[in-house]
Amino acid sequence: MATLVLGVSIGSADAQIRYRAQNQHQRIRQGVKSGELTRPEAKNLREDQKDLHQDLKLAKSDGKITRRERKIIRKEENKNSREIYRKKHNKRERH
């Protein structure tokens, strides 16, 4: 069953995860551009995204992402999203 996300049809869990990761990368880029994120904050957030990508790669290594693996990845995505929000709104400015 395909889901509709902002006009983009997404059928697999892998595609949903990649879409969300892309969105979070854009949020980080925008935060750096606007000065909401310092460079060390952005670096830390990008490292979190890399860790998530590694987890996805490991989950796909056997050919299928299980329900449990999706749950773990979704939990990590939520944690990363909250961290992006917190760091963008912590009143630190890039100089």
pLDDT digits (tens, 9 = 90+) for 38-71: 999 999 999 999 999 999 999 989 988 899 999 9
The DSSP code for 35 is T
Domain coordinates of the chain in residue numbers?
13-88
Long-range contacts, 44-50 (Cβ 8 Å, 24+): 44/87, 45/80, 45/83, 45/84, 45/87, 48/79, 48/80, 48/83, 49/21, 49/24, 49/25, 49/80
Percent over 90 (pLDDT), the chain: 67
pLDDT at residue 15, as a whole number: 85
Q: How many CB atoms lie within 10 A of CB 95?
A: 6
Give the residue carrying structure tokens 């697999």. Answer: 12
pLDDT at residue 2, as a whole number: 52
Banded pLDDT at 9 (limits 50, 70, 90) = very low
Percent over 70 (pLDDT), the chain: 85
